[in-house]
Structure 1
Amino acid sequence: MSNKPIFVATHPRACSTAFERVFMTRRDTLQCIHEPFGDAFYFGPERLSVRYEHDEKARRESGFSESTYRTVFDRIARESAEGKRIFIKDIIHYLVPPDGAPASIAPSLIQHTLPKRGIGTNGDSAQQQKKTPYNTPAEPGNPTVVPTSLLAGFHFTFLIRDPHYSIPSYYRCTIPPLDAVTGFYEFYPSEAGYDELRRVFDYLRQVGLVGPKVASVENGDHRNGDASSNGATTNGANGDHGHGVEICVIDADDLLDHPETVIRAFCRSVGVEYDPAMLKWDTEEDQKIAKAAFEKWKGFHEDAIESTGLKPRCERKSHKSEEEFDAEWTQRFGEKGARIIRETVDRNMADYLYLKQFALKV
């Protein structure tokens, strides 16, 4: 069983912070690191996002204007040295150039350093046309700015949510009045995150860092995933069949309806001892630690901060027609908002449904 740092790769508004809070209760054996790669993605000299490109003041005041992908990895290494297993929950598109742009390795993660920042190009004219983010080499097939050798240091798992719910939740964080709290004053469809999650998922399967087995809720019962059917190999990067890392995909609806079953299965898959007490966090210390961890992303995690545990929701999610969703979004966000949400949901549904076929069956 792997004892690597656990990396829960997800997209925005996937109920991932509530999921993370479950594992923040295991302070005896786990060290949780909350969304570390956003520091480099948004604010540092290697930033991939243009959200704060013309707002140097915001980048400086974030406290992360000097953060690079190397400094994030250095932090993970320091915290690993404390002896506890690392648990990371992060938005995977923080490792991937936006808008489907091809990736090249972040300058801080290769041997030599290159000119400071910008969403630039490689040296020759052909590479300039590709508009890779840095003037650095790329790894064939790797959609991230992180070398595969570093990706191999993590035990990857995945958390997804139906775009009909995650997209309007994210849109709400980018309009008044909440935008004044989050500092996100515009909705970027490119930050939905499903395309990046799918591409990283497929790449990790292709190089054997996850799979071919698919995690199950039953102890020792594995469904054979179609890890060979989409161009993926069943061998690990070093011929060791994925280091025993199962394909473990959690759907947020299953988590909300069956928290104990899902958390128990997840723990079994990643090699963490399950304890029913993980589903409750109502002490003063629990809340203090959560507030400190989520401080840098104000406005995004209030529900998770104010929660005291994870219980099955009282009512299952009701089925709605697309027309009912459109009417609900129009009522809440106006015609323009509803149109943006609809376009973004439609653009991401295929990727969500693709990933969902690998999800734990509850």
Structure 2
Amino acid sequence: MSSAPSPAEPRPRTVILWVHPRSTSTMFECCMLNKQDEFRVLHEPMGDAFYFGPERVSNRYTPECCDKEYPQFKDSTFAKVWGNMVDATTEGPSRTFSKDMAQYIFNQARSTNVTSVPSLTSEGGDNDNSSLIPTALLTDPTVHHTFLIRHPSKAVPSYERLCYPGSETGFDYFDPEEAGYRELRMLFDVVRESNKRQGRPAPLLIESEELLKNPKDVMKLWCDDCGIDFDENMLTWNEGTREHFAKWPGFHTSAEQSKGVGQVSHRNVEPVKEENVEKVDQCIQQAMADYDYLRGFAKGPSV
């Protein structure tokens, strides 16, 4: 059963694909870059507030580093970034697509119970869900939530390979807390419960392997759910570096070297670094319960 809008309902103004790191989501985003006549396409905007802004939650960057290296995000509060994502008055295409990490709207400093940030609390009222986004904003009827997952045995090692001293990504250590499955499950349940109260089915969730095996069928399923006219031209593109992904160098090389969904040029894959083998194995095992739970909601031709 799809949560797609009925013919009598307006097409959702903002469509969000929530993901975890290394879920092949940038490849998915490339499909939407072929729809820029209809959509503004935003690349992980909540990361601006999560990593760099005055309300930052992540400990990945020090305040000094944020001030010196990322001054362009000094005013990126959660309210400002979220507001831009759902703003109906923005010039350009009438709709917005955003690919974002679920962990960017959760508190990862688990020593505290912070579930709100000042800028959003003042706009959306008290928060009564586990994310940093007040329920009134998160469940706005003009915002349509969808989800993408990939098996931890593929996603976690892929992430580790990008996190080492001197990495082009700037992530100079591997942190298992950034795997993202826990937060994706938590967010999925928040949206699912909201949909249930409104008499709607669970949000659409697709699995990366299913997308790679059946790109046409899965993308059509997703487009139908989001009120988007599917076009097979969405599935292919020209390879090459895109300014669209410049904010996160090194993370999107595979997508930039591809020519379409699942069309990634073959290359040697580095093994997990010896000092991280145990941490990666533990991270995979810890992520499996959340992955299996989410996989139980997956939709697709073979699911």
TM range (shorter): 0.7 to 0.9
Provide the residue aligned with 2:286 in structure 1.
347
How do 1:273-312 and structure 2 match up within 5 A? 273-282=229-238, 287=240, 291-311=242-262
Provide the residue aligned with 1:51 in structure 2.
60
Cα distance change on mapping 1:354 and 1:246 into 2, 3 Å: closer
Cα distance in 2, alignment partners of residues 79 and 52 from structure 1: 33
Map Cα deviations across residues 242-269 of structure 1 (whole Å, 9 max, x no partner).
4xx7521111111111111110111111
Paired residue secondary structure (1:182):
coil
- Please state if 1:73 is matched with 2:62: no
Paired residue secondary structure (2:73):
coil
Provide the residue aligned with 1:42 in structure 2.
51
- Please state if 1:248 is matched with 2:204: yes
Q: Which amino acid aligns with 2:73?
A: F
* Structure possessing the higher radius of gyration over alpha carbons: 1
With the length of structure 1 as denominator, give the TM-score of the two structures: 0.73
Cα distance in 1, alignment partners of residues 285 and 74 from structure 2: 35
**Contact residue 257 and residue 264 of structure 2 kept, 8 A:** no
Map Cα deviations across residues 211-242 of structure 1 (whole Å, 9 max, x no partner).
xxxxxxxxxxxxxxxxxxxxxxx322xxxx24
With the length of structure 2 as denominator, give the TM-score of the two structures: 0.86
Paired residue secondary structure (1:110):
helix
Equivalent pairs, count: 285
Cα distance in 2, alignment partners of residues 51 and 313 from structure 1: 30
**Contact residue 14 and residue 166 of structure 1 kept, 8 A:** yes
**Contact residue 279 and residue 311 of structure 1 kept, 8 A:** no
Paired residue secondary structure (1:7):
strand
Provide the residue aligned with 1:332 in structure 2.
271
Q: Which amino acid aligns with 1:88?
A: S
**Contact residue 182 and residue 299 of structure 1 kept, 8 A:** yes
Q: Report which structure shows greater RCO (CA 8 Å, sep ≥6).
A: 2
Match of 1:150 among 137, 144, 161: 137
Q: Which amino acid aligns with 1:296?
A: K
Cα distance in 1, alignment partners of residues 88 and 54 from structure 2: 22
**Contact residue 14 and residue 161 of structure 1 kept, 8 A:** yes
Cα distance change on mapping 1:78 and 1:85 into 2, 3 Å: closer
Paired residue secondary structure (1:332):
coil
Match of 1:111 among 97, 107, 122: 122
Root-mean-square deviation over aligned CA pairs = 2.5
Q: Which amino acid aligns with 1:111?
A: S
Q: Which runs of 5+ in 1 are unaligned?
A: 113-136, 209-233, 316-328
Shift in Å, 1:312: 6.7
Q: Which runs of 5+ in 2 are unaligned?
A: 6-10
Match of 1:169 among 158, 171, 191: 158
Paired residue secondary structure (1:6):
strand
Q: Percent identity?
A: 35
Paired residue secondary structure (1:203):
helix
Match of 1:97 among 103, 107, 115: 107
Shift in Å, 1:176: 4.7
- Runs of 4+, deviation exceeding 4 Å: 78-81, 311-315
Q: Which amino acid aligns with 1:294?
A: F
Provide the residue aligned with 1:257 in structure 2.
213
Paired residue secondary structure (2:98):
strand
